[in-house]
Structure 1
């Protein structure tokens, strides 16, 4: 009898301990998100994130063309019957392409603090390196962000840097005392190279290359030499491209009907917006009408429910780039700061395994689901 009493007592004790452990494990969960500017101690007991501003990135690709006259251009018609030759040194810029993209930049005015108790999905927040929210429970692998700096030597190549010094001139040509005689000798060299190519292709050379690869090498060298010698008459044309980016973070309180992002000069290329030697390149923004969500709650009632995750409903806008008076390109984009910030119900984050995706460029809600 005594044994049975002890057994029952031990079972009761175990049940009591188990119930206590169970109650500790199932502590109540709670999530509340507040604007950080309204929090007294935002650095304590909270997680922080920001919503983005949408920045418009305009990439302009321009091309610099350098034309250099050949030293014998005056004799092009006489010795080679060439009429389409460069007769004057010049360099000229032209815009080749303009591309519009967007990126997210942190909005310090839209910083929020997450307060939670218990085990909730709010603890599994995903941020960009700059603190912009990307979502909850995304299980993204950490990526090493490495910035590659490209060296652009375009501005180091000028008209005076272009010359014909690399051309191997024949000894007979160098001994000539007049430009006309040198031009005639250079023309003779071109005709010799052409005859050698004909003999090579027809198999009439005394010493043909031993194999196909050597044959190809010899033919390429003849073509290169001919091109080099022709450039002494026709001149040289060198084209180089350069890409420059301009970033604009639109302000809803500002107008962008004729905003000058830079100027363009055919002599200098892309120049500063204040440099009046160039013609203006305009950035225009036309925001589409956005109907904000309105709370229809009576003033006499106070909504005491807690806020969940804040996100954006972005507005659309048409971006147009105009070169002086000509429209070059346009694109419709979503912009966070032209839209509205709203919050989810806090109960969504009370659950474990909830997966939420938010666009780090516009702050828009992409999806809610289970992990």
Structure 2
């Protein structure tokens, strides 16, 4: 995780949201005229969708597949089809602009190392922040290397005067390959291998030739997998919202494009944290803002993705935007001892708090 450190003289955090928003319109996170601005995080849902694109190309002898190989329903027209392979949900921390607070300089108090993320989230004070694991980047599997079927055609096939004759001779070669394979397995071939390794090598070569020549009838299908990333920002409960649509012919399309079949998302606030006392909060607003560091007390949410009535992915994760904010008193940061504070980089809650006497 990339971050930067501000060397500050810590005095107070301004708790009024409106004041913080006013400041943030004039200053970037980490910089004010007399101190610094920091944010607490909220949780976005990172939805990773693996979509497979299957491109079919008919074989040169596709119309003779039934006649010579007794293969039914061999497609004779090229086509492209898309399908969803998997859907994964991951919580991601982003700065919550509604929870912005300032730290001001004061030469009479102990200096503090305030560590912020690149987007201005408070990570630690007088400590190195906890590292978080980034989502792994998707890496597509290498494409299958196909053998050229023409390299396995004998002189008679290549010299045939028509496509129909070539197909007939190719089918005969395929049957010969399969017969030779069966003879090898039964131990009745004219040239039997000396050991198991040689046996396997011969069988593999026969399979490669069979597959390559058969593709002249059945055609080939190339499969490419792509990762699509969607970010959902839940500010409240979400019910039956279209997340994306998938068209078998076009792939991922816009949520309002009826050419695709819809995938929905529900997000439910689990309300595991008691709601803040609004009366007490309103009384505090009338008083002078208290000094200290504001941290999150995160709630939890459940995110469900489904297609039709079938649930595809259900994940519970922390949701700071549904929780409360609490104040750590400025008395924790005075000259009598040095306080080390670690915040959870995902939730903005206190991970660890230590105080030590100066030497």
Which of the five TM-score ranges fits, normalised by the shorter chain? 0.7 to 0.9
1:9 maps to none
CA distance in structure 1 between the partners assigned to 2:251 and 2:314 by the alignment? 22
Post-superposition shift, 1:38?
A: 6.9
Matches within 5 A, 1:140-289: 140=129, 167-168=150-151, 169-194=153-178, 197=181, 219-252=203-236, 256-289=238-271
CA distance in structure 2 between the partners assigned to 1:269 and 1:204 by the alignment? 49
Residue number among 268, 275, 278 corresponding to 1:292 in the alignment: 275
Residue deviations 1:334-360, cap 9 Å, x none?
A: 222222222111112226442322223
Post-superposition shift, 1:80?
A: 3.9
Q: Residues 221 and 276 from structure 1, CA distance in 2 versus in 1: closer, same or farther, beyond 3 angstroms? A: same
Post-superposition shift, 1:247?
A: 0.8
Q: Residues 114 and 88 from structure 1, CA distance in 2 versus in 1: closer, same or farther, beyond 3 angstroms? A: same
Contact 2:264–2:306 (Cα < 8 Å) also in 1: yes
CA distance in structure 2 between the partners assigned to 1:187 and 1:356 by the alignment? 75
Correspondence 1:347 to 2:327: no
CA distance in structure 2 between the partners assigned to 1:313 and 1:300 by the alignment? 18
Residue deviations 1:142-161, cap 9 Å, x none?
A: 99x9x98989999xxxxxxx
Correspondence 1:31 to 2:11: yes
SS at 2:205's partner residue?
helix
Correspondence 1:136 to 2:132: no
Unaligned runs of 5+ in 2: 1-8
2:354 maps to 369
Correspondence 1:329 to 2:313: yes
TM-score by length of 1: 0.72
Question: Which moves more between the two structures, 181-190 or 88-97?
Answer: 88-97
Contact 1:58–1:246 (Cα < 8 Å) also in 2: yes
Post-superposition shift, 1:267?
A: 1.1
Q: Residues 314 and 50 from structure 1, CA distance in 2 versus in 1: closer, same or farther, beyond 3 angstroms? A: same
CA distance in structure 2 between the partners assigned to 1:300 and 1:192 by the alignment? 90
Post-superposition shift, 1:271?
A: 0.7
Paired residues in the alignment total 329
Residue number among 16, 36, 44 corresponding to 1:47 in the alignment: 36
Correspondence 1:92 to 2:75: no
Contact 2:138–2:227 (Cα < 8 Å) also in 1: no
CA distance in structure 2 between the partners assigned to 1:276 and 1:300 by the alignment? 51
Post-superposition shift, 1:125?
A: 1.9
Calculate the aligned-residue CA RMSD, in Å: 4.0
CA distance in structure 2 between the partners assigned to 1:297 and 1:268 by the alignment? 52
Post-superposition shift, 1:206?
A: 6.4
CA distance in structure 2 between the partners assigned to 1:166 and 1:138 by the alignment? 64
Matches within 5 A, 1:13-28: none
Post-superposition shift, 1:296?
A: 4.5
Post-superposition shift, 1:265?
A: 0.8
SS at 1:340's partner residue?
strand
Question: Which moves more between the two structures, 288-297 or 55-64?
Answer: 288-297
Contact 1:279–1:324 (Cα < 8 Å) also in 2: no
1:317 maps to 301
SS at 1:101's partner residue?
strand
Contact 2:123–2:129 (Cα < 8 Å) also in 1: no
Post-superposition shift, 1:186?
A: 0.8
CA distance in structure 1 between the partners assigned to 2:175 and 2:138 by the alignment? 47
Q: Residues 370 and 203 from structure 1, CA distance in 2 versus in 1: closer, same or farther, beyond 3 angstroms? A: farther
Q: Residues 30 and 67 from structure 1, CA distance in 2 versus in 1: closer, same or farther, beyond 3 angstroms? A: closer
Correspondence 1:56 to 2:34: no
CA distance in structure 2 between the partners assigned to 1:183 and 1:264 by the alignment? 38
Q: Which structure is larger by alpha-carbon Rg, 1 or 2? A: 1
